[in-house]
Structure formats: structure tokens, C-alpha cells
């Protein structure tokens, strides 16, 4: 991989000689006569390696190496001097320099040393690019919305992300709580650590306890080996506990101990295990009411709700529906190999007028269904029209035949359309229509639609 090298030395002849040698090796060379000029170059150019003299007119090269590593951690530095000492070499390495060599005595070392330094720098730049891609994929940038309610939630999440505070995300089902949890993790100092998630309502008590805290071999029937558990897996990172309101009361006590002491007991173990983990919890229940009713520990509620963020339902974010729908439509079209998608004005109007009890998750499912059902034209983009929406969103729509206004005819026409789209696959047709296969067969028989 090609690399750019910055030479910082006040001796022009030495810079030019070293530049020619390195250019013959295929490197791009930049030059600076002092530390100030070198830092200016680094501000505007991506540099893999800096080779700097120790004695510069305006700064010591060893001190400069520390400054460069602080500002540009992926860039490597080789310190070059006419009079090397062991103490200077040790200081340079401590300051982050890749190596320290003496002018003249180390001519044979320069090329292989530069090669190793560039190889390390290129690896670090690739890691940096991957981290940026992960941040873009899971960070706050992926949260679509320009409405005031969602911006207020994002602003709160950004502020708490840089701390280590426990966060409670509240809101209806499908409002994007896990997306927010991932974004908070990516914006936190723990971003390089693991992010693990578990739905506390999806597992039985014993399985949930084992998944969260782990178990010792032989702790119960079927426990044939040790298991770490998610609190151990998430060490130095973040654990996301979705549907925390569904957690059994005795497990809530164990969770409270983790939050207060940063340690837990594996099932079947007698020695506590330490963990350094941030907890983000989420619920669509009113936990305070649940606690008052005796279904949730009040002390755990207070511990979890140190910083609470309520995510707005989609019906309070109507300005965002168009952007979300367009994004989902393009994503779903790409999945099924269709060209670009256009959403008709009436289609969008129907979306904006819907109540969205399932919020963003429901919207995504509706768009996926519409994209699958849409006929692909020979040229031009696919158009999503109101007749591709579920029945409960089609109120006021007319069938293709203006003389056929009865509900049964409208339903039959839509079933025929879906059957054509699925090439007669009745199982897939029933899934897209949101009805049982038996119901579909009955409707086909009533309508006289052949096998």
C-alpha cells in the first residue's frame, strides 16, 4: 500500500537526499523545515510516517513526537539525530516514536525501518477507517429524523453518552430503543469494547439467569461446561437489557448487586466475579407504576433511572415519516434486486395519517411489504402506491374497476394482485396479506379463484 512520508529537518540538503532515496522506494514525500511547518502539513495531509530531526529550530524533535502522537495516533514517527544517546532513545520511544536512529551510522537500516513503520501505520489507518464505518453504521448519524421530539432525545443521548452513567430508555414498542443504545455505546469511551444485547422478556427465568450471569459446569442438569454469561462478555463495554420490566424479581436483585458492587455470582459458583460494564436498559412499561404495584423493585428502578430518555412515538414525529419511508424503501428495493423506488404523494399521505401503533418497526414492515408487491416497470423507478398498503390503511381507496365498489370485489382484486406477485405461492401470499393459509384458501374458494 502506498504511503506518504513527511520529512522534518532544517538541513535542506539532508532532506532532499533522504527524499530521493525514499521516492525511489515508491513513497510520496512531503518536506518541512521546522516543527511548526510540519504540524501545518499534518493538518491538511494524511501522513503515515514522520521522520524528524531531534534538533529543530523551534522545538525538540522528541517533544514533537509526543505532540504528533497525541494529535494523530495512527501516524508513526522515526526520530533522527546526529548524536544519539540511550536516554534520548528511551524518551523518544516512551513518547510514541516507532524508533530512534543516528544519522550516518544507520543508512542500511533506513529502508527496512521505514517499511516496517509504514506497515504498522497502514494497519492503524485501516483500523481507524473500520471504526469510522462502525460509528457511521451504529452511531447517532444513522438515526433519521428532523422533528423536534427526536432531536431532543438525540441531544440527551449525546450528552449522557460521554459519561458512564446507567441509562433507561423508555417508550412504546418499535420506537428504536436498541438503535439508541448502540449509538450511545458508539459515542462513549467504551466504544472499543463489546456491545451485547438481550431481551429479558424472551427467555424463561433460569435460562435468562444463566445467559446474564453464566454458570459453572454441573450447576444444573445439562450444564456440561462453564459459561461466562453476558455480564462477563460485556466487560469494558456495554450491556443492553431490553424489556427490563419483564425480568423476574429475584433476578432484579442480582442485577441491582451488579450495579452497586460491579460483581456477580455465576450460577453454581461461590466466588463473585468482577465486571466493568455500563448498563443501558429499556422498557415500554411504566416502571414506577410497576414498582408501586409490587411487580418491579423500586430500588432497582431508582438505580436504573439515573438518566432516563423517553423516545417519542412515530405519531408524534409525522415530519420524519417521509424520510424514514424513503430510506426503508431504498434499502428494501436493494435487498430484492429492484431499481430505485418512488413513493407516490397519496402513498405518503396515507403513511402520515396512520396511527402507527408499532411505530418505526411497523413502518418498516409496511414498506417492505409494499416494495415486494410493487410491479417492476421495464424502465424507470418502482412506484409505491396506496393499493400496496395493508387493508386497514386503504380506507377510501377505489379498486381498479370504478364500477366494482363493494368490499368483496376490492379484496378479491388485491388477492389476485398478490398471487401474481408471488407467482401463485399461496404460503407467501398469505404472509404478505397478513392472514392464515386456511383463511386464504377459503377466500380463494369463495371468490372462485382457481388453483
Q: Give the number of domains in the chain.
A: 4
CATH number of the domain residue 28 falls in: 3.40.50.2300
Of the ranges 86-100, 161-175, 182-196, 247-261, which one carries the lowest mean pLDDT score? 86-100
Question: Whole-angstrom Cα distance, residue 170 to residue 243?
Answer: 10
Q: What's the domain range around 292?
A: 146-312
Q: Do 270 and 412 belong to one domain?
A: no
Q: Write phi, then psi, for 264 (nearest 5 degrees).
A: -150, 165
Close Cβ partners of 238 (under 8 Å, ≥ 6 residues apart): 181, 184, 185, 188, 190, 193, 194, 195, 196, 277, 278, 279, 280
DSSP state letter for 60: B
Neighbours of 258 (CB within 10 A): 20
Q: Do 287 and 200 belong to one domain?
A: yes
**401: in domain:** no
Q: Do 82 and 46 belong to one domain?
A: yes
Q: Do 193 and 222 belong to one domain?
A: yes
Could you tell me if 7 and 30 are in contact, meaning their C-beta atoms sit under 8 angstroms apart? yes
Q: Do 161 and 270 belong to one domain?
A: yes
Last residue of a domain, one of 134, 161, 185: 134
pLDDT in tens, 3-52: 899 999 888 888 888 888 888 888 999 999 999 999 999 998 989 999 98
From 256, 330, 339, select the one nearest 300 (Cα to Cα).
256
CATH number of the domain residue 160 falls in: 3.40.50.300
Could you tell me if 378 and 415 are in contact, meaning their C-beta atoms sit under 8 angstroms apart? no
**211: in domain:** yes
**417: in domain:** yes
pLDDT in tens, 134-187: 555 678 888 988 899 999 999 999 999 999 999 999 999 999 999 999 999 999
Q: Do 290 and 365 belong to one domain?
A: no
Could you tell me if 156 and 246 are in contact, meaning their C-beta atoms sit under 8 angstroms apart? no
Last residue of a domain, one of 104, 134, 164: 134
On the question of pLDDT at 405 being above 70, the answer is no
Last residue of a domain, one of 134, 156, 179: 134
Question: Whole-angstrom Cα distance, residue 122 to residue 135?
Answer: 20
**402: in domain:** no
CATH number of the domain residue 332 falls in: 1.10.8.60
**101: in domain:** yes
Close Cβ partners of 100 (under 8 Å, ≥ 6 residues apart): 78, 79, 81, 84, 88, 89, 92, 93
Amino acid at each position: 500500500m502506498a504511503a506518504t512520508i513527511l520529512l522534518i529537518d532544517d538541513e535542506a540538503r539532508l532532506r532532499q537526499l533522504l527524499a530521493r532515496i525514499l521516492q525511489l522506494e515508491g513513497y510520496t514525500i512531503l518536506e518541512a523545515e521546522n516543527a511548526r511547518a510540519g504540524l501545518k502539513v499534518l493538518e491538511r495531509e494524511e501522513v503515515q510516517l514522520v521522520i524528524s530531526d531531534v534538533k529543530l529550530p523551534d522545538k525538540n524533535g522528541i517533544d514533537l513526537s509526543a505532540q504528533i502522537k497525541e494529535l494523530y495516533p495512527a501516524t508513526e514517527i522515526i526520530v533522527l539525530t546526529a548524536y544519539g544517546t540511550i536516554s534520548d532513545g528511551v524518551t523518544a520511544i516512551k513518547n510514541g516514536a516507532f524508533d530512534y536512529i543516528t544519522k550516518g551510522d544507520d543508512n542500511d537500516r533506513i529502508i527496512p525501518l521505514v517499511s516496517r513503520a509504514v506497515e504498522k501505520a497502514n494497519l492503524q489507518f485501516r483500523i481507524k477507517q473500520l471504526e469510522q464505518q462502525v460509528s457511521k453504521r451504529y452511531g447517532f448519524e444513522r438515526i433519521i429524523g428532523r422533528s423536534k421530539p427526536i432531536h431532543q432525545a438525540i441531544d440527551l443521548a449525546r450528552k449522557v453518552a460521554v459519561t458512564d452513567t446507567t441509562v433507561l430508555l423508555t417508550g412504546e414498542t418499535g420506537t428504536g430503543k436498541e438503535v439508541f443504545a448502540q449509538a450511545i455505546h458508539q459515542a462513549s469511551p467504551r466504544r472499543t469494547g463489546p456491545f451485547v444485547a438481550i431481551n429479558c422478556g424472551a427467555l424463561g427465568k433460569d435460562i435468562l439467569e444463566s445467559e446474564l450471569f453464566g454458570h459453572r459446569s454441573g450447576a444444573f442438569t445439562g450444564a456440561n461446561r462453564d459459561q461466562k454469561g453476558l455480564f462477563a462478555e460485556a466487560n469494558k463495554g456495554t450491556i443492553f437489557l431490553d424489556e427490563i420490566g419483564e425480568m423476574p424479581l429475584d433476578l432484579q436483585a442480582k442485577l441491582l448487586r451488579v450495579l452497586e458492587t460491579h460483581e456477580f455470582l455465576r450460577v453454581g459458583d461461590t466466588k463473585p466475579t468482577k465486571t466493568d460494564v455500563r448498563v443501558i436498559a429499556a422498557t415500554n412499561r411504566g416502571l414506577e407504576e410497576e414498582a408501586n404495584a409490587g411487580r418491579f423493585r423500586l430500588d432497582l428502578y431508582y438505580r436504573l433511572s439515573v438518566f432516563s430518555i423517553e423516545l417519542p412515538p412515530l405519531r408524534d414525529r409525522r415530519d420524519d415519516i417521509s424520510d424514514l419511508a424513503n430510506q426503508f424503501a431504498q434499502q428494501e428495493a436493494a435487498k430484492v434486486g429492484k431499481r430505485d423506488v418512488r413513493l407516490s404523494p397519496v402513498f405518503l399521505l396515507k403513511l402520515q395519517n396512520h396511527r402507527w401503533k408499532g411505530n418505526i418497526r411497523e413502518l418498516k414492515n409496511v414498506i417492505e411489504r409494499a416494495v415486494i408487491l410493487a410491479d417492476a416497470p421495464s424502465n424507470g423507478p418502482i412506484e409505491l402506491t396506496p393499493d400496496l398498503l395493508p387493508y386497514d390503511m386503504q380506507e377510501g381507496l377505489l379498486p381498479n374497476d370504478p364500477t366494482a365498489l363493494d368490499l368483496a370485489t376490492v379484496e378479491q382484486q388485491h388477492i389476485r394482485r398478490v398471487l401474481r406477485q408471488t407467482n401463485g405461492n399461496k404460503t407467501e401470499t398469505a404472509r404478505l396479506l397478513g392472514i392464515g393459509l386456511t383463511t386464504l384458501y377459503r377466500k380463494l374458494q369463495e371468490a372462485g379463484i382457481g388453483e
